[in-house]
Structure 1
């Protein structure tokens, strides 16, 4: 596995998509791109919605990706455009990056990647960039188009500042980036986007992040079908509700087992703390929880906290004002 994100030499004349993007970039900005950045989407084979619990997943990257053409200047202005006219142009001062969680537009995902890498590298200032984005991942389809855009933006920011960090650190950084827009994911999408290799799935494990090749059966064919149903995970609370429910379950389980529960966030970490096998952990879950939904009042009683403490210390911003049932 390469240590740093690879810089790949491409036969430009044989790549119609790159040629078309370059022509569009020149038409848009009246200059040629300095470099290109690319991040693939992904599909998960095993382990749905358990990465944010600290458990391993088995994804693989797909051919569909986010591709960006970029030039760098001294304007300290970030100019973004998209080949899809559905997504409007955007411009912002590099010194005044703000991300509107209430309005999750495409350019805010890009700014998540910029801001995350800026914070990770402690960059006091950013150069100006002009960027034209072209995406082939169906939007909001469950193939990580938004995460791929964040990862691509992270690569763009790293390269435009002439910095280099490991793919592992870049994946961990971009996983945290989506917190800026309110999504509390677990890191699978960003990890496979950076760590994927052709011809293999990856077992992605966390704490610490690591990836292991998983050879797929000879002749195996995976059909990825688009249901044409869109779900923007930052535009609703559906995704974060699942994350918060698992977080609350972790804390209740920890409290019933006599542990200091306030700092525990993930079931996988709790399992390690308890020293239990997965089967034993499942037995504990069956014994502690009832199948009926839990109200906020019941959760607060179990944890011996106030509703205000539940909202401020455990729930995410977009799950604080939902109904009374949480789990």
Structure 2
């Protein structure tokens, strides 16, 4: 039944045809023949629920317009070739698909191509060898998701590579399976994240955010209030979660807390791996589980209590966010904003994954009239997401851009197109395959 939910093959329309044409020209100039097909994977903005997916709790992201597009064909030899439309990223080549794992493991830093190699290695782990054959691959890529900004640029690269390989070798697989394989594949780069980014990349539908639950992976459309508009603003402080220890430290802290708590309650404590699994095994609600956790950790590092408090309270905010979206109460947009503000405070103070510039940008957004604002993504820099209304969005965006030109942010954005730094967004389509239309003879 899972195979009845494949990645869609969409017709090329006005929203994407110019970008496909430009990438197609680049592919042709580099490889001297046309691409066979194109794979598109969007970035995402998480509206609420950061740093809880890897603890097994539901999140609420939506796909955005910014994306990664891959043009691909089989090569004339066994080699694997990458080229990037952005010429700041050098071309990559290895002699065969099977040799690319060695390049992935080389300790020469986080080169851009390693994210693609993660996806290729992950896909090859599930595709039967007899489907691969002896031919290699030509890949040209164009990504317009700001890197290290908290909008899932790295996960989009990995997921695009997985999708490209799976489609190239016609391996039948569902969108859910693609998401889980891509999440596993990204761990080859060193980050021990959950599956939120990959799940929304493959399972997003235009016009709705998604409540994404894990173990098992399942999604529910969240129809946002018609008057609500979400605006993304980039702090211009970059943080690559694979390049620092902070992200994996938070994952480890949560796992350590789970083991300590479980050991006090269960003989089979070693089988309990996440805070979500702990709650299920205890059979308690989120508040009660937090109380049990605080009692169990009172003689341990107080940081562990703070991490657990964020996870359990943030998980409750996600469910409340969904509930408010389903209601018809006139104050529901204001209530969503309050939840976002609470979320940022928790991420800043309890999970300690914000950044002073990002915190100041949140304050500026609120002073410009946002009903709520919070960091989105891993944190330690990157973007915020702010909530405003349809009637106020133009004024809010203009006021926020004006504030960024002045004071603290002036140097950070002086060479930037502010339309790409602060912009409204809405729920977009998930990953898709495209074929360029053949000219009519």
| TM-score where L is the length of structure 2 | 0.64
Q: Does 1:113 align with 2:119?
A: yes
Of 240, 259, 265 in structure 2, the residue corresponding to residue 257 of structure 1 is: 265
**For 1:31-110, what aligned pairs fall within 5 Å after superposition?**
31-73=33-75, 75-92=77-94, 93-98=96-101, 99-100=104-105, 102=107, 103-110=109-116
Q: Does 1:26 align with 2:31?
A: no
Cα offset, 1:24, TM superposition: 1.1
Cα offset, 1:179, TM superposition: 1.4
Cα offset, 1:123, TM superposition: 3.0
Query: Which structure ranks higher in relative contact order (CA pairs < 8 Å, sequence separation ≥ 6)?
Result: 2
Q: Work out the CA distance in 1 between the residues paired with 2:164 and 2:85.
A: 17
Q: Is the 8 A contact 1:13 1:19 kept in 2?
A: no
| Structure 1 unmatched ranges of 5 or more | 296-327
Of 170, 179, 183 in structure 2, the residue corresponding to residue 162 of structure 1 is: 170
Partner of 2:279: 271
Partner of 1:9: 11
Q: Flag the 1:259–1:270 CA change in 2: closer, same or farther, 3 A.
A: farther
Residue aligned with 2:63, SS: strand
Deviates more, 1:123-132 or 1:239-248: 123-132
Q: Does 1:201 align with 2:209?
A: yes
Partner of 1:150: 158
Relative to its length, the structure with more helix (as a share) is 2
**For 1:165-204, what aligned pairs fall within 5 Å after superposition?**
165-204=173-212
Of 227, 231, 235 in structure 1, the residue corresponding to residue 235 of structure 2 is: 227
Residue aligned with 2:51, SS: coil
Q: Flag the 1:59–1:185 CA change in 2: closer, same or farther, 3 A.
A: same
Residue aligned with 1:97, SS: helix
Q: Work out the CA distance in 2 between the residues paired with 1:190 and 1:74.
A: 31
Q: Does 1:283 align with 2:291?
A: yes
Cα offset, 1:101, TM superposition: 6.8
| Structure 2 unmatched ranges of 5 or more | 304-441
Of 115, 128, 145 in structure 2, the residue corresponding to residue 122 of structure 1 is: 128
Cα offset, 1:142, TM superposition: 0.5
Q: Work out the CA distance in 2 between the residues paired with 1:76 and 1:12.
A: 36
Superimposed CA distance per residue, residues 167-193 of structure 1 (whole angstroms, 9 cap, x where no aligned partner) = 011101101011111111110000000
Superimposed CA distance per residue, residues 234-285 of structure 1 (whole angstroms, 9 cap, x where no aligned partner) = 1111111111110111111100113322232211011111111111101112
Q: Work out the CA distance in 2 between the residues paired with 1:192 and 1:82.
A: 24
Q: Work out the CA distance in 1 between the residues paired with 2:170 and 2:14.
A: 23
Deviates more, 1:107-116 or 1:281-290: 281-290
Aligned residues: 296
Q: Work out the CA distance in 2 between the residues paired with 1:14 and 1:280.
A: 49
Q: Work out the CA distance in 2 between the residues paired with 1:132 and 1:77.
A: 14
| TM-score where L is the length of structure 1 | 0.86
Superimposed CA distance per residue, residues 119-173 of structure 1 (whole angstroms, 9 cap, x where no aligned partner) = 1223354641111100010001010100000110011001111222000111011
Partner of 1:314: none
Q: Is the 8 A contact 1:12 1:18 kept in 2?
A: no
Q: Is the 8 A contact 1:21 1:134 kept in 2?
A: yes
Q: Work out the CA distance in 2 between the residues paired with 1:14 and 1:269.
A: 42
Q: Is the 8 A contact 2:260 2:297 kept in 1?
A: no
Q: Flag the 1:265–1:292 CA change in 2: closer, same or farther, 3 A.
A: closer
